């Protein structure tokens, strides 16, 4: 496909049919071999899709996209009618660039992506969603399945209404398995992107409180996550965490086969030992495997991946080899050893993952000290104050000598921690750093280094928007 045998990802008639678009400008050969919504990433023969957000309209960047080599551009009818002379002038200077007008550019991107996926009827399509653990589960599953199949995944966490459609345009004819995580920030986002991929295998990691601010309740979250099963039509398989309290509800949403996973669900899998920071040891059909990511919550993610691998015919030897091949994942329970042992877990944070991280750090014992850096958990809506207070209360019981709360929302956690520590007579130093500026990161690092001793464990956790990896870099940069 894309670039193979000189074919366009989609032919003009396919794109028009999928999007309901109209070819308004451009002539010559229609061709594109990549898709972008960011004009800065446009290359020669890119299809550029400008999106309209609350603060800016991507149509403003069409001249730059064309200058960088875009072969085709999707535009909205409204913008075309408003600025027709501008587009005509761009087309006059660049007659080979095709302009396709549509009602809604985001919807058009999704429809076009869905049409592209249909070109690969033999692809084993897997969707992964849940309140936390999506990316970790995806990466583990990919490492396992690569022992038998040629696998494609979405990079990083490109799992949104735009990220997933952009990701599927990277599918090629050599791929046998596609593993795509699905995230959400609003109602029916999972439904929309599920309609793009139409997965026949779906994994739900858990039902927590992430995004409860926009959906209102865990019941609504479960209903939304279950849309990963929407396109099973009696022949798909849903992988459901047996120990989740919404397991029964989720199973009812599966029009197809249900596989439960979790500790005690699979007689072929035997837990052996919690290795602390070194991960979890377990056996697959009597063969030893080690998950190198710390925490029992990551072990549960691994069990989801194992259940999927077994379903797709991998042997115990292939599964064990897959775990051996699994490297660290930037910012996700990533253990960095040096003068200090830093757990860099700053790619995502919500009440569920924060609670699990604090439980884990509280369970680790030794002659070393513990320091926590906890950043804002974003997108919690009206529950934000309560959930941050809860985090502050839980944090003081982890055995840390220093806890640095950082951000805006974490002020509530800091104040609750101060109160709890005083009431329970817990000896812990508590600090609050406002905001997430570079100066704030420097303050965090300064506080940590002033208290840390060689061999100490430092947990750094917060939402991606906090950018706490900057503080980690400062800490590590002066210890190498």
Annotated binding site for ATP: 130-136
| CA-based torsion, 143, 147, 148, 152: positive or negative | positive
In contact, 344 and 381? CB cutoff 8 Å? no
Using DSSP bridges, classify how beta strands 72-76 and 98-102 pair: parallel, antiparallel or unpaired: parallel
- List the binding residues: 130-136
């Amino acid at each position: 496909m894309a670039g193979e045998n000189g074919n366009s990802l989609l032919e003009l008639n396919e794109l028009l049919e999928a999007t309901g678009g109209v070819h308004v400008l451009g002539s010559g050969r229609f061709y594109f071999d990549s898709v972008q919504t960011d004009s800065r990433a446009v290359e020669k023969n890119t299809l550029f899709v400008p999106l309209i957000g609350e603060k800016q309209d991507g149509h403003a960047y069409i001249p730059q996209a064309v200058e960088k080599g875009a072969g085709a551009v999707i535009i909205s009818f409204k913008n075309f009618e408003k600025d027709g002379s501008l587009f005509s002038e761009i087309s006059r200077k660049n007659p080979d660039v095709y302009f396709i007008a549509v009602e809604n550019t985001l919807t058009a991107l999704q429809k076009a992506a869905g049409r592209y996926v249909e070109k690969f009827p033999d692809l084993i399509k897997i969707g992964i969603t849940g309140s936390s653990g999506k990316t970790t589960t995806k990466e583990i599953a990919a490492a396992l399945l690569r022992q038998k199949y040629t696998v494609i995944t979405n990079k990083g966490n490109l799992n949104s209404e735009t990220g997933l459609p952009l990701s599927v345009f990277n599918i090629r004819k050599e791929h046998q398995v596609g593993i795509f995580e699905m995230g959400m920030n609003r109602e029916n986002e999972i439904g929309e992107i599920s309609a793009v991929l139409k997965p026949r295998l779906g994994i739900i990691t858990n039902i927590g409180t992430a995004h409860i601010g926009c959906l209102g309740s865990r019941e609504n979250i479960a209903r939304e996550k279950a849309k990963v099963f929407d396109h099973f039509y009696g022949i798909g398989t849903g992988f459901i965490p047996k120990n989740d309290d919404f397991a029964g509800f989720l199973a009812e949403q599966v029009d197809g086969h249900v596989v439960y996973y979790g500790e005690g669900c699979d007689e072929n899998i035997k837990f052996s030992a919690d290795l602390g920071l070194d991960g979890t040891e377990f056996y697959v059909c009597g063969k030893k495997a080690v998950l190198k990511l710390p925490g029992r919550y990551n072990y549960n993610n691994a069990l989801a991946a194992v259940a999927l691998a077994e379903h797709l015919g991998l042997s115990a030897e292939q599964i064990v080899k897959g775990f051996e091949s699994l490297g660290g994942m930037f910012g996700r329970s990533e253990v960095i050893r040096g003068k200090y042992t830093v757990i860099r877990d700053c790619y995502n944070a919500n009440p569920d993952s924060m609670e699990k991280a604090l439980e884990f750090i509280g369970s680790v014992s030794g002659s070393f000290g513990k320091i926590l850096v906890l950043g804002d958990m974003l997108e919690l809506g009206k529950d934000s104050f309560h959930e941050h207070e809860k985090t502050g209360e839980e944090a003081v019981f982890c055995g840390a000598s220093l806890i640095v709360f950082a951000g805006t929302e974490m002020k509530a956690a800091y104040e609750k921690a101060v109160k709890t520590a005083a009431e329970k007579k817990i000896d812990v130093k508590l600090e609050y750093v406002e905001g997430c500026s570079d100066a704030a990161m420097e303050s965090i690092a300064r506080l940590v280094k002033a208290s840390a001793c060689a061999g100490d464990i430092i947990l750094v956790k917060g939402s991606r928007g906090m950018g706490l990896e900057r503080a980690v870099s400062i800490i590590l940069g002066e210890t190498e």
